[in-house]
Amino acid sequence: MRENEMIEKEDIFSKVLRAGRRTYFFDVRATKADDYYITITESKKFTEEDGSFHFKKHKIYLYKEDFAAFREILDEMVDFVLDQKGEEVISERHQKDFKRENYTETTDDEMKSSESFTNIDFDDI
């Protein structure tokens, strides 16, 4: 019975955020002294060439004494990003018609004839 009580206590409150290959788990847990803390777990799914997959997980433990400072810095960082770049997602992955500024595509012939590269003989190293 004692083991079941510990398992029940561990899952006090949870939320899940699925974001593409990533899943974020937000969990409220209890310390041995029965105080609460938060864990934030990022889980990424990786698929192997044979079709099998595995997950890599990273976890942050956040204790009550750090909540205020953590929230303040997180709010500041979020506000900065949104003020600077807005809420629109700007990336090649999210926008198929995305074009990088100052980006020009180079053809194979241009690469072969380019004199900007230096030939290196590995015997020189």
Decide: helix, strand or coil at residue 19: strand
d(CA 46, CA 44): 6
Q: Report the pLDDT value the prediction gives residue 14, as an integer from 0 to 100.
A: 96
d(CA 114, CA 125): 23
Q: Report the pLDDT value the prediction gives residue 12, as an integer from 0 to 100.
A: 94
In order along its 125 residues, the chain shows pLDDT tens digits of 455 444 445 679 999 999 988 999 999 999 999 999 999 999 998 888 888 888 899 999 999 999 999 999 999 999 999 999 999 887 766 555 555 555 444 444 444 444 444 444 444 44
Q: Report the pLDDT value the prediction gives residue 49, as an integer from 0 to 100.
A: 86
Q: Report the pLDDT value the prediction gives residue 8, as an integer from 0 to 100.
A: 45
Three-state DSSP string of 21-81: CEEEEEEEEECCCCCEEEEEEEEEEEECCCCCEEEEEEEEEEEHHHHHHHHHHHHHHHHHH
Q: Report the pLDDT value the prediction gives residue 31, as an integer from 0 to 100.
A: 92
Q: Report the pLDDT value the prediction gives residue 60, as an integer from 0 to 100.
A: 96
Global pTM reads: 0.60
Decide: helix, strand or coil at residue 12: coil
* DSSP summary character for residue 117: S
d(CA 56, CA 25): 13
